[in-house]
Amino acid sequence: MAFVLSLLMALVLISYSLGGSLGCDLSPNHVLVGRKNLRLLGQMRRLSPRFCLQDRKDFTFPQEMVEGGQLQEAQAISVLHELLQQTFNLFHTERSSAAWDTTLLEQLCTGLHQQLDDLDACLGQVMREEDSALGRTGPTLAVKRYFQGIHVYLQEKGYSDCAWEIVRLEIMRSLSSSTSLQERLRMMDGDLNSP
């Protein structure tokens, strides 16, 4: 339970940082939606992870790239958008529907879609100002490769219940890992707005 609460707090920080830093119009409910999405992922648990130890895998989340200080604001927004988009794509499939409680899954997909809508405005603003190829290079491409690995893993495991449980935990981890990136975005915006 403490793990889930810490993940909830991480998502709140992520959403709060986005809402206060990008200079774009995020929905006032963005923080609440992010918190609810992480809570839903926690509620979707169907198996104890202990039963799935043999299915564990290191998906090589590009944590250093996401948490590192080398990303520019446009890249950071692009990475965050890609993370949410790929998470939505992963859970918005027929195979996913067969694995999870459909009510929780629908609520999660709705929440992810809401967050994507909020970020689309930010991404559009930044992409007009920056190189439009950002989504096809570097850190964003690393996030795409990370999710390709998750899809391959699920296929290899026959979309088993344990495989989905491992993926659910991995997605919770990846969403919470982007907290430092969110903090950097907030600090970058603060620097731009200081006299």
* Sole residue written with tokens 């990846």: 174
CA-CA distance, 120 to 138, in Å (whole number)?
Answer: 20
Task: Return the CATH number at 84.
Answer: 1.20.1250.10
- Considering only CA atoms, which of 164, 165, 143, 171 is closest in space to residue 66? 143
Number of domains in the chain: 1
Q: What is the pLDDT of residues 57-90, one digit of tens each?
A: 889 888 776 665 667 777 777 888 898 999 999 9
Domain ranges, residue 104: 24-188
- Helix 102-129 and helix 73-91, axial crossing angle in degrees, nearest 10: 150
Q: What is the pTM of this model?
A: 0.77
Q: What is the pLDDT of residues 125-177, one digit of tens each?
A: 666 555 555 555 688 889 999 999 999 999 999 999 999 999 999 999 888 77
Residue 62 within a domain: yes
Residue 11 within a domain: no
CA-CA distance, 120 to 81, in Å (whole number)?
Answer: 8
Residue 41 within a domain: yes
Residue 156 within a domain: yes
